[in-house]
Amino acid sequence: MKFDHLKELGEKERTRQEQYERRIFCCTSTACLSAGAGQVHSTLEQAVAACQCDEHEAEVVKTGCLGLCSAGPLVRVEQKEQDSVLYGDVSPEAAQYIVSKHVPMTKDDSQVDDEDGDESIVPHDIPHYRASLRKIRTKTDFDKHIISMDIPFFAKQQKVVLNETGKIDPDKIEDYLAHGGYQALAYVLEKMTPEEVNDNPISHQIINNIWHNGPIENAEQRFYRNSKTNKIKFKRK
């Protein structure tokens, strides 16, 4: 597969994701799974389906580790033009609260037809489920699940290798491409000669830097060929 095709797939996925008003990321990595993230994830999907809102109002996304495993299961809500909100120790009940708080229910119950939709996702008794979402929205004790991003655990970290962790659905290769996946490999295979890869001591640094610095269009601006030595150099930001 050519580099341009990979780039195109990544861009298509980025465009798709940008259509969503909010995206709800549920960690389904090992520690959170062992704490019940599987059930939390399916509750999030069911609750969003029960809201019967426009399809671009919300998307539930499985992700890898969000970092604070001891507080799992973790759920992060990213909403356009708002700060993201992180929730910890999320139970299925708290998952319903998260959806009721962030996702609008755009139809009234008289319009709800619980026969339509995907039965594997949509709860059988949608009106009942919607009543439950309305009821839980009035409670405030679930706000205790909010974890501030200012706590030292996050504030003192500068992610480098794991910069994209918690943003990508590990089951979806397009999502990986949308975050720059495989670009280092594609760059090396298509833009560098075998000699450059083998002989140029900087080539390993190039690979690492492309890997860590995101999409190739940014990386390309930081790489140039030295006209005297004919070697590829990396320009720091």
Q: What is the binding site for ligand FES (CB under 6 A)? A: 27, 29-32, 65-69, 72, 74
Question: Is the CB of 67 or the CB of 123 nearer to ligand FES?
Answer: 67
Report how far residue 33's alpha carbon sits from residue 43's, in angstroms, rounded to the nearest whole number.
14
Distance in Å, CB of 34 to ligand FES, minimum: 9
Determine the Cα–Cα distance for residues 76 and 54; give it in Å rounded to an integer: 21
Instruction: State in angstroms the smallest separation of the CB of 87 from ligand FES.
Output: 12
Provide the b/e sequence for 146-177 (b: ≥16 CB within 10 Å). Answer: ebeeeeeeeeeeeeeeeebebbbbeeebbbbb
Q: Which is nearer to ligand FES, 162 or 189 (CB)?
A: 162
Q: Residue 150: left if φ>0, alpha if ψ -120 to 50, beta else—which one?
A: alpha
Task: At 161, list the tokens.
Answer: 């290798």
- The residue among 32 and 94 lying less far from ligand FES, judged by its C-beta, is 32
Q: How far is the CB of 36 from ligand FES (least distance, A)?
A: 11
Min dist. Cβ of residue 107 to ligand FES (A): 33
Closest distance to ligand FES from the beta carbon of 68 (Å)? 6
Least distance between ligand FES and beta carbon 116 (Å): 34
Q: C-alpha distances in angstroms, 215 versus 6, 21, 40, 180?
A: 11, 23, 32, 5
Q: Which is nearer to ligand FES, 69 or 112 (CB)?
A: 69
Q: Which residue has the tokens 């830097």?
A: 209
**Token duo for residue 134:** 């309305």
Which CB sits closer to ligand FES, 69 or 207? 69
Q: Quick one: 70 or 208, whose CB is closer to ligand FES?
A: 70
Q: What span, in angstroms and rounded, lies between the C-alpha atoms of 231 and 233?
A: 6
Q: How far apart are CA 51 and CA 107, in angstroms?
A: 8
What separation, in Å, do the N-terminal and C-terminal C-alpha atoms of the chain show? 30
Asked if residue 215 has a cis previous peptide bond (ω within 30° of 0), the answer is no
Q: Which is nearer to ligand FES, 9 or 27 (CB)?
A: 27
Nearest approach, Cβ of residue 235 and ligand FES (Å):
35
